Amino acid sequence: MATSTSDQRILVLDFGSQYAQLIARRVREQNVYCEIVRHDITPEQIKSHNPNGLILSGGPNSVYADGAPKCDPGIFEMGIPVLAICYGMQLLCESLGGKVESTPTREYGRATLKVIESDDIFEGFPAEDQVWMSHGDQVHQVSDDFIGLAKTETCPLAAVRHKSLPVYGLQFHPEVTHTPNGSVLLRNFLYKTCGCTGTWKLTDFADEMIASIRERVGDDRVICGLSGGVDSSVVAALLYKAIGPQLSCILVDNGLLRKNEADIVVEQFTNHFKTDLHVVDGKDRFLETLKGITEPQEKRRRIGHMFIDCFKSESESIDGVKFLAQGTLYPDVIESGAAPDGPAATIKLHHNVGGLPEELGFELIEPLRDLFKDEVRRLGIELGLPEHLVWRHPFPGPGLAVRCLGEVAEPKLKVLREADAIVIEEIMAAGLYRETSQLFAVLLPVQSVGVMGDARTYDNALVIRCVNTDDFMTADWTHLPYEVLGKMSTRIINEVNGINRVCYDISSKPPATIEWE
C-alpha cells in the first residue's frame, strides 16, 4: 500500500486468500485506510503501525496441516479489535483453545445464515440472510471464552465472539458480493468495534501517489506501456500530473487487439493527451511466437516475453529513460500468486506482473498496484479523464489470444474481432454498456453442424461472456435481455463467416474465472 497520512487504519493479515486485497478494498469503501501485511507480522511491528483494528484473511490451507501459515497468538490479547474470516477464524479459535476439523459436508457457495445471538457486529443485519461460504474445515469446538453468534445448516459455529476480548470470527466471507449484507458487518466492526470515523478518501491516494512519483523520478524520464485501456490510461494521467513532459508512452500493436483498437489509441493519446507516443508494429512477431501453442499459461508467457522484446527495442530509441510505468492492478498481483514467498496460490500468469527482466535496466513504477478496477475508474474521474475512456470495459493484456481458445492464428482472430465488435455494438445500442462490467466474445476450438441456406455447415462455436462485478475478484453472469442476445446471435451468424452457433456463458466467478484462459 502507498503511505497514507490517515491517522486511522486497519491491517489485513494475509494468509494466502485470493480475497485478501478485496477485504482491504471493502474497508477503503468505508473511508478507512487499510494496509495488507504478512500473516507472521510480530506484535511489535503491529504496534508501529498503530492500527485501529486487525482483520485475518482466509486462506487455502488447513490450520492443522504441517507448514500452515500461523500468526503470533499474542496479537489476540493486545487489546486491538480483531475480525477473523474463514481460515482466520479457524486459526483464532484453535489458538485460543478450540478445535478445527475437516467436515464431511463441505460448504462452497451460497448458504443461509441465521443469527442466534444479538451483537453489535450484527446490528442492522437480517436475522436470516444469504452469505458466501468457501471451506472444507470448520470450527467444531470453541473454548468457554467464546459464544456463538450465528449458524448455517451445516456449520453450527458460523460466527463467534470472545466474551472479554474485542475479537470476532466469521466462517463466511463478508467481503464478497455474494454476501449481500457483508458491508453491514464490516462497517459495524470498523465503526462500532474499532472506533473508526471514516476520514480517508481516494483523493488522498491520488495526491500522495503524485507527490511520491514526483519525488522518486526527479529529473529522469519515464516510459509507460500504453494499451488504451482504463488502467494504463489512468497511470499515464497520474504520471502526466506528476512529471508532465518527462513521460513517453509506447503502444505495442501485438495483432491481438480489438477491431480498430490501435487507431483509437493513437487518436486518444496524441490529440487528447498530447503525449510523446511511440507505436510498435509487432503483429507478425507475436503471431509467429504463438504458432502451434495451445496451452493458456504458455500463451501468456510467450506474449509477455515478446512484449518485453518489442518494448525494449523501442525504448532504446528514447533518451534518458530510468523508469517503466505499468498499469498493474492488485487482482493481477494476487492471481499471479502475490509475493513468491507468500502463501497465496497462483491462478494465472499476467504478462505485466514480474515479467520485466532486470537486464532492461529500468526501475518499475506501478502506482495502481494496490487498487481494484472500480477504484481505478473513480481515480480516473478525479484526474479529469473523459468518461467514455474511464468506463471502458477491461481488456486483458494478452488480448484476443486468451479469447481465441486453442492455437492463435490470423484467420481465427479476424473472425473473433468481427464477432466481438458486433457484441459491443449491440450492447451499446441497447443502452446497457454502463450497466455491465465486462462483455466479450470467445471463439471455441469446437465445430458443430448447422444448416444455412438449405446446406449443411460445420463451423465454429462462439461464446458470449457478460458479467457484473464491482471488484473483478467475484462476479455474477449478467441476465441480458433475450432480445439483445438474439440480435447479437443473429448478426454474428449472418455477418461473420465461420460461425454457425452462438452460446451464452452463465457461470459466476467463482468457480469460473471471467476470462476463459
The dihedrals phi and psi of 253, each to the nearest 5 degrees, come to: -80, 100
Q: Cell match 496460490: residue?
A: 345
The pLDDT of residue 272 is above 70: no
Of 106-115, 418-427, 464-473, which has the strongest mean pLDDT?
418-427
Computed on alpha carbons and rounded to an integer, the radius of gyration of the chain in Å comes to 24
CA-CA-CA-CA torsion sign (395, 254, 275, 246): positive
- Per-residue pLDDT tens over the stretch 111-124: 999 999 989 999 99
The pLDDT of residue 154 is above 90: no
CA distance 467 to 469: 7
CB proximity list for 304: less than 8 A, separation 6 or greater: 349, 351, 352, 355, 398
C-alpha cell at 15: 494468509
Q: Span 44-52, mean pLDDT?
A: 95
CA-CA-CA-CA torsion sign (94, 101, 134, 516): positive
Q: Cell match 466492526: residue?
A: 189
Q: Is 229 annotated as a binding residue?
A: yes
Give me the count of residues in the chain: 517
**Contact, 449 vs 478, CB < 8 A?**
no
Q: Is 231 annotated as a binding residue?
A: yes
Report the range of poorest mean pLDDT among 4-18, 27-41, 146-160, 460-474: 4-18
The dihedrals phi and psi of 233, each to the nearest 5 degrees, come to: -65, -40
The pLDDT of residue 353 is above 50: no
Q: Is 233 annotated as a binding residue?
A: yes
User: Residue 106: its pLDDT value, please?
Assistant: 67
What separation, in Å, do the N-terminal and C-terminal C-alpha atoms of the chain show?
29
Residue 135 burial class via C-beta count within 10 angstroms: exposed 0-12, middle 13-18, buried 19 and up = buried
C-alpha cell at 385: 479523464
The pLDDT of residue 348 is above 60: no
User: Residue 356: its pLDDT value, please?
Assistant: 53
Q: Span 71-79, mean pLDDT?
A: 95
- Report cis status (omega within 30 of 0) of the bond before 174: no
Q: How far is CA 192 from the centre of its chain?
A: 29
- Per-residue pLDDT tens over the stretch 212-263: 999 999 999 999 988 767 888 899 889 988 998 899 999 999 999 999 888 8
CA distance 63 to 26: 25
- β-strands 128-141, 99-115 pairing: antiparallel
Q: Is 402 annotated as a binding residue?
A: no
User: Residue 341: its pLDDT value, please?
Assistant: 43
Q: Span 80-88, mean pLDDT?
A: 96
The pTM score is 0.68
The pLDDT of residue 337 is above 50: no
Identify which of 168, 183, 195, 192 has the alpha carbon closest to the alpha carbon of residue 29: 183
**Contact, 53 vs 190, CB < 8 A?**
yes
- Per-residue pLDDT tens over the stretch 155-187: 999 999 999 999 999 999 999 988 999 999 999
The pLDDT of residue 30 is above 80: yes
C-alpha cell at 260: 480498430
User: Residue 131: its pLDDT value, please?
Assistant: 95
- Per-residue pLDDT tens over the stretch 427-446: 999 999 999 999 999 999 99
For the chain, which domains are there? Answer: 9-193 (3.40.50.880), 202-390 (3.40.50.620), 403-504 (3.30.300.10)
Q: Cell match 480517508: residue?
A: 200
Report the range of poorest mean pLDDT among 216-220, 269-273, 315-319, 400-404: 269-273
C-alpha cell at 189: 466492526
User: Residue 72: its pLDDT value, please?
Assistant: 95
Q: 385: left (phi > 0), else alpha (psi -120 to 50), else beta?
A: beta
Active site residues: 86, 173, 175
Q: Which residue has the higher pLDDT, 338 or 214?
A: 214
CA distance 431 to 393: 14
CA distance 365 to 327: 9
The pLDDT of residue 266 is above 90: no
CA distance 438 to 431: 14
CA distance 307 to 257: 13
User: Residue 19: its pLDDT value, please?
Assistant: 83
User: Residue 344: its pLDDT value, please?
Assistant: 46
Q: Tell me the C-alpha to C-alpha distance, in Å, between residue 130 and each of 111, 147, 149, 151.
A: 6, 21, 15, 12
User: Residue 408: its pLDDT value, please?
Assistant: 96
User: Residue 350: its pLDDT value, please?
Assistant: 42
**Contact, 296 vs 261, CB < 8 A?**
no
The pLDDT of residue 27 is above 50: yes
Amino acid at 70: K
CA-CA-CA-CA torsion sign (405, 411, 414, 419): negative
The pLDDT of residue 109 is above 80: yes
CA distance 278 to 266: 9
Identify which of 462, 464, 466, 463 has the alpha carbon closest to the alpha carbon of residue 478: 466
- Per-residue pLDDT tens over the stretch 354-406: 455 465 678 889 999 878 778 898 899 888 888 878 888 888 889 999 999 99
User: Residue 403: its pLDDT value, please?
Assistant: 96
- Per-residue pLDDT tens over the stretch 212-221: 999 999 999 9
**Contact, 318 vs 275, CB < 8 A?**
no
Q: In which order are the strands placed within the sheet that holds 82-85? A: 33-38, 9-14, 53-56, 82-85, 167-170, 159-162, 146-151, 99-115, 128-141
Across the chain, mean pLDDT equals 88
3-state SS string for 312-371: HHHHCCCCCEEEEECCCCHHHHHHCCCCCCCCCCCCCCCCCCCCCCHHHCCEEECCCCCC
- Report cis status (omega within 30 of 0) of the bond before 511: yes
User: Residue 394: its pLDDT value, please?
Assistant: 85
User: Residue 375: its pLDDT value, please?
Assistant: 85
Q: Tell me the C-alpha to C-alpha distance, in Å, between residue 399 and each of 294, 327, 403, 488, 496.
A: 15, 15, 8, 21, 20
Q: Is 227 annotated as a binding residue?
A: yes
Q: Is 230 annotated as a binding residue?
A: yes
Neighbours of 190 (CB within 10 A): 26
- Per-residue pLDDT tens over the stretch 468-504: 987 777 899 999 999 999 999 999 999 999 999 999 9
Q: Span 405-412, mean pLDDT?
A: 95
Identify which of 207, 169, 199 has the alpha carbon closest to the alpha carbon of residue 56: 169
CA distance 235 to 223: 11
pLDDT band at 74 (very low <50, low <70, confident <90, very high): very high
Instruction: Give 178's strand partners.
Output: none
